[in-house]
Amino acid sequence: MFFSRANPPPPSEITPQGIYLARRSFLNKLGALSAGALASGNAFGLTLPAPANANFPKRQLNPQDSDTRVTPYSTVISYGNFYEFGPDKDSPIRNAHRMRTDPWSIVVEGEVSAAKTFHIEDIVKLAPLEERIYRLRCVEGWSAVIPWLGYPLAELIKRCNPTGNAKFVEFWSLADPEQMPYTRIPVLPWPYIEALRIDEAMHPLSFLALGMYGKVLPNQNGAPLRVVIPWKYGFKGAKSVVKIRFVEQQPQTIWTKASPKEYGFYSNVNPDIPHPRWSQSYERRLGEIFKRKTLPFNGYADQVAGLYAGMDPRLTF
């Protein structure tokens, strides 16, 4: 649920007017970036224009509700997992400047009416940008509340024109050894591939993020675009996507290949199903001292539990 409500809010609450007004300026800036800035890795550090009353890093529905309090921007950009850049939580911010995010394209193939390629400029133009404040829960037990900028993933999926045979959709992340040094080491079966059922990908909560906190995505957080599925563990959100592939059979993902006993295909947040090496009952919000109880489906059960009706909960982890 958006903003800790039982039902999604009307568009006026999740799509600030200033974001719409800023969209043209954003596109102009994106197209005008110099080659030098792009090569330096700083191109997508531009700040989106915002109205005077917008304060994205601190926006919250209820200042007294710690569950919806936005995690500080400085924390989110400096702590996380992006194993292509290293194994430590600060590896991404130290090493992701190597990645060049423009030019950038996404190849679409598999069970589609025709293979195609989207350029980043085209993707930005597909739909009006929205701000959505979503919780993100890592399987390791930490969590964050992040204001994402983008639009529903369904908007992109529809334009891929999948056929009736397409039951699943894969998201392939960039795996370039020159830019991502840890892809030279077979610690994981590169490239990073995650996947969803089509109905999961088309769900209104599934999001294609192009930015966060009123800014374009930093490299270390998955620039120039990533997937955000708020009811699943964070590793389901493929970063720096370069390929979308539609398939008929349930595919293997990077983590089901690397450790099938620890990571399932669905990877829904379920506090009652422990990871083989630790409990999932509690989590620690970044910036907080004390742990809190983990919510089923990360707090979005009212919207998404029906997707898994009749399925064994042990199979949806």
Q: Is the pLDDT of residue 168 over 60?
A: yes
252/307 Cα distance (integer angstroms): 20
Q: Which of 244, 279, 277, 251 is nearest to 265 (CA)?
A: 251
Give the phi and the psi of residue 23 in degrees, each rounded to 5: -60, -45
More confident residue, 44 or 273: 273
More confident residue, 180 or 5: 180
Beta strands in the chain (DSSP E): 105-110, 116-119, 130-137, 142-152, 168-173, 193-197, 207-212, 215-216, 226-228, 241-247, 282-285, 292-293
Q: Is the pLDDT of residue 25 over 80?
A: no
Q: How confident is the model at residue 18 (pLDDT cuts 50, 70, 90)?
A: very low
45/38 Cα distance (integer angstroms): 10
Q: How confident is the model at residue 89 (pLDDT cuts 50, 70, 90)?
A: very high
2-309 sits in which CATH class? alpha beta
Collapsed DSSP state (helix, strand, coil) of residue 177: coil
Q: How confident is the model at residue 257 (pLDDT cuts 50, 70, 90)?
A: very high
Q: What's the farthest any 2 CA atoms get from each other in the chain?
A: 54
Q: Which two tokens stand for residue 148?
A: 């994402």
Q: How confident is the model at residue 313 (pLDDT cuts 50, 70, 90)?
A: confident
User: Is this prediction's pTM over 0.85?
Assistant: no
Collapsed DSSP state (helix, strand, coil) of residue 196: strand
286/184 Cα distance (integer angstroms): 30
Give the phi and the psi of residue 199 in degrees, each rounded to 5: -70, -30
The rounded mean pLDDT for the chain is 83
pLDDT tens for each residue of 34-71: 333 333 333 333 334 333 233 333 333 344 455 678 99
Q: Is the pLDDT of residue 171 over 50?
A: yes
First to last CA, the chain: 20
> What mean pLDDT do residues 267-289 have?
95
Q: What is residue 316's predicted lDDT score, i.e. its pLDDT? A: 84
Q: What is residue 66's predicted lDDT score, i.e. its pLDDT? A: 58
Q: How far is CA 41 from CA 46, 217, 264, 310, in A?
A: 11, 12, 34, 47
Break the chain into its structural domains and give their ranges.
2-309
Burial letters 5-36, b for 16+ CB under 10 A, else e: eeebeeeeeebbebbeebbeebeebbeeeeee
Q: Which are the contacts of 163, defined by CB distance < 8 A and separation ≥ 6?
A: 111, 112, 113, 246
pLDDT tens for each residue of 182-238: 999 999 999 999 999 999 999 999 999 999 998 999 999 999 999 999 999 999 999
More confident residue, 138 or 15: 138
Work out the percent of the chain whose per-residue pLDDT is above 70: 79
Cβ(127)–Cβ(211) below 8 Å: no
Q: Which two tokens stand for residue 285?
A: 């919000």
Give the phi and the psi of residue 55 in degrees, each rounded to 5: -140, 75
